[in-house]
Structures are given as C-alpha cells and as structure tokens.
Amino acid sequence: MQNSIGGYVVLLQNTHLCREDMFYKDIPGYDEIKKQLIYSVNSGRLSHAQLFAGVNGSGALALALAHARYIHCHRRGPEDACGKCPSCHKYNAMVHPDLHFIYPVAKKKGSFSEENDSSEENRGVEGTRSIEFIDAWRKSLQTFRGFISYEEWMEKAGLSEKRGMIYTADAVEIIRNLAYKSVEGSFNILIIWLPEFFQEKTSNRLLKSLEEPPEKTIFLLVSHNRESLLTTILSRCQSINIPAMTPAQTREVLIKQLQISGEEAATLAMLAEGDFSLARKLYENTGVTGEFFKAFRDWMRFCFKPDYNPNPSQPLKVPVIVQITEFFKGLPPEGQKQFLIYGQKMLRNSFVYPANNGELVKAGKDEQEFARNFNRFMTPEALYEIAKTFEEAIYWLTRNGSPLMIFTSLTLTLMEKFKQPIKK
C-alpha cells in the first residue's frame, strides 16, 4: 500500500509546463464559437464587453485567452494568432502589458490588506488585489493551459481553505489603469474571471465602466454562473454561451496536458463526464485509475465472499478488507471521495452493460470485463440500490463525516445486500 501513496506524490509533480499554447487551435471543438470570435475581430465588429458564459469545467477561460491573444496579435491569420510576433511571444509567458486580469482571491494571514481592512471606512476600498497573486496566476494558466477550475485556482494560490472574492479595491485600481493608453497602441483587454465573486460594490463600479468604457478597452468576462450576475451587467455584455466539454474534447485536453495515451485519457474523460478538472484529479490521485480499479474490484469481491483471496496460491496473511481499508485511509480526503465516485461509475457501467452490449461502456478493458461479470450476478434493482448507498456515502463524506466509519458502514451494507439478489 506504500506504493499507492508514493505514486500519488510523484504523479502530483508530473504536471507539464508548456508555454507555447493557448491558441484557438489548442482548444478542441467549439468550432462555431471560434469562427464567430474570429469574424468579430476581422470584421471590426468587436464588442467592447463580451461575456463567456460556461459551466465550471468548460473551455470558457481558454477561449477568452485565445481570443485576447488573437485580438492582440500583430499578424493574425484567418484561423489563429501567428505565434511569432512580439505580442504572441509575450502571451506565451502571459506577460503582455495590455492584458489585465481580475480573479477571485482571498486575504492571506498577516498581509497588508488584512491589517487595514478592519476599519469601517476602509471597507470596500481596501482589499486583496489580484495582482498580489499574479505569479501564481500566470503559472496556473501556463500549467493548465487556461483549463482551470475555481477550486484548482484557489489551491494553486495557496488559498484552498478560504472563500474567494473579487474586492472592490481590485476592480477600482484596474479600471483606473485602463484609462491609460495601451502600451502597444492597440486595445487594453481586461479579463474578469468569475465576476460572480464580486463584492457587491464591485459590480456597481464595473457597471459604470461598462456604460462608459475607456477608449480602446475590451472587457472579457468569464463566468461559470451567469444567473448570479446582475441583469444590468448582462445587458451591457454580448453573451457567448460556452457549452460544457464533451468527453471527447476533454480527452484531447488531457492527452496534451498529461501526455498520456488516448485510451487512458478517454477512460479518465469518461469517468469525469467531460469535467477536465475532475479528470485531472482522478489522474493525480490514482495514476490513471489502475489502483482505483484494483482496490474497487477486490473490495467488491470481498463483499461477495469475505474469505476472498486475490492470490489463491498463497495463504492470506492480512485479510483483504484490512488491505483495502488501508488503501482507502492512505488516500487524501479528495481522493477518498473520488474513489467512491469511481465506484459509483463502475456500478453505473454494470447497470447499462446489457443495453450497450459492452460497446458503449467507454471504460478500460479490465473495467469492461468487471462490468460484464458484475452485471451477470446482479439484478438491475440490486445495482440501483447499491449505487444509492454509494451516493449516500459520498454525501456524508462531503459533510465531513468520518471517512473510516463511512467506509466500514458501506462495506457492511454491501455485504448484507450481496447476500440476497444474485441472478440465476
């Protein structure tokens, strides 16, 4: 079991930093949206405020970044930025002087802004600024190529325990700076990532700027929760609806980012239902699901047959359940949750197996085999009930229940259920 934890650490470090990307071509799919964006630039119909609205795990930020790069590029092609001009070079390092960002941040203990934030008159004026986290931000964009979730960002910024916010002071300062001419003489572009994290006053300040935008300024808002934005903001933005990524799109992103095989990437993308951030987590926690699969399979077999021995040629030294419990205990909290989610998906695969005749279950070979066998033994009703108990366990885990108690209780429930509904 030592290996699984060691592997986890190694895999966490295995994120590749690549600089020359974040072009339209690096974002799989979204062809119509790209066409529309490119047309808006080349036809001179660029709106000064655009809202990229897509769910967490969609390509909304990646598209906004590629769009900004395209606008700033000195030698735009018909389909993408050139990649060679001085502007493109600056984009590779995310240091273009006319590209500005605001994103959710939080106060760090002992920081200047926290010391000053206590006084009433300063409230809303003082506040942590995005710029204080700019190094982490640039690095995250480069590491994840613009495909980053809110949770991942807060973790990278060292703020995972905190609640993110875009402070008024941050917006005020950046909007004030936008009044200055762009350094390269083209547009100033401000990417506002997740405006739903605005402090109340911030929305009003932004509204003013959207009403009377500084000359040659473009606002690109990227939201994961369009409904929560003020209608007055929405009405001033040209809204672009960015659909969630399909597993096929996610697969492409994962292949590039993690440099894994197409088959591995497809498995991860399928398990995460297209959410790249969840897929990455699965990868980091498990080394492409292999360990999850083995542990889950042995766990289920144990529940069927408590004297199950994975290696019958040798007498069992430690009961299987002790090994699996150790494996579960060794996972980080998020990994424990992912493991149960993984189990739930395996059950779902078994459930749909006959309908798909095994073809549509986009799982690895071992996983398909497991789904087939499991389906042979279980009635649909039993599978459904078991999936429900997983759902409950995941629920309690997210409510900070004791992982070990939840795991043990789930094991006992499964053993009980497996006694009854065996198919003939």
Binding site for Zn ion (CB under 5 A): 73, 81-82, 85, 88
CA distances from 296 to 54, 338, 362 (A): 34, 12, 18
Gap between the Cα atoms of 31 and 53, Å rounded: 16
Compare residues 218 and 254 and give the one whose CB is closer to Zn ion. Answer: 218
The least CB distance from residue 76 to Zn ion, in Å, is 7
Nearest to 335 by CA among 95, 4, 2: 4
296, two tokens: 């889950």
The least CB distance from residue 187 to Zn ion, in Å, is 14
Beta bridge partners of 198: 166
Compare residues 82 and 316 and give the one whose CB is closer to Zn ion. Answer: 82
- 224-246: string of b/e by CB count within 10 Å (b at 16+)? bebeebeeebeebbebbebebbe
The least CB distance from residue 90 to Zn ion, in Å, is 10
Compare residues 89 and 256 and give the one whose CB is closer to Zn ion. Answer: 89
Nearest to 63 by CA among 237, 245, 228: 245
The least CB distance from residue 191 to Zn ion, in Å, is 18
The least CB distance from residue 17 to Zn ion, in Å, is 21
Compare residues 81 and 278 and give the one whose CB is closer to Zn ion. Answer: 81
Nearest to 194 by CA among 239, 234, 162, 149: 149
Contacts of 207 (CB under 8 A, 6+ apart): 230, 232, 233, 236
Compare residues 69 and 145 and give the one whose CB is closer to Zn ion. Answer: 69
Compare residues 21 and 284 and give the one whose CB is closer to Zn ion. Answer: 21
Contacts of 125 (CB under 8 A, 6+ apart): 168, 169, 172
Compare residues 183 and 422 and give the one whose CB is closer to Zn ion. Answer: 183
Compare residues 84 and 305 and give the one whose CB is closer to Zn ion. Answer: 84
Compare residues 77 and 310 and give the one whose CB is closer to Zn ion. Answer: 77
The least CB distance from residue 139 to Zn ion, in Å, is 22
Strand, coil or helix: 261: coil
155, two tokens: 């973790």
Q: What angle do CA 28, 33, 36 make, to 5 degrees?
A: 135
The least CB distance from residue 99 to Zn ion, in Å, is 13
Contact 78, 38 (CB under 8 A): yes
294-299 long-range Cβ contacts below 8 angstroms, 24+ apart: 295/324, 295/327, 295/328, 295/339, 296/339, 296/342, 296/343, 296/346, 297/366, 297/370, 298/323, 298/324, 299/324, 299/343, 299/411
The least CB distance from residue 74 to Zn ion, in Å, is 5
The least CB distance from residue 68 to Zn ion, in Å, is 12
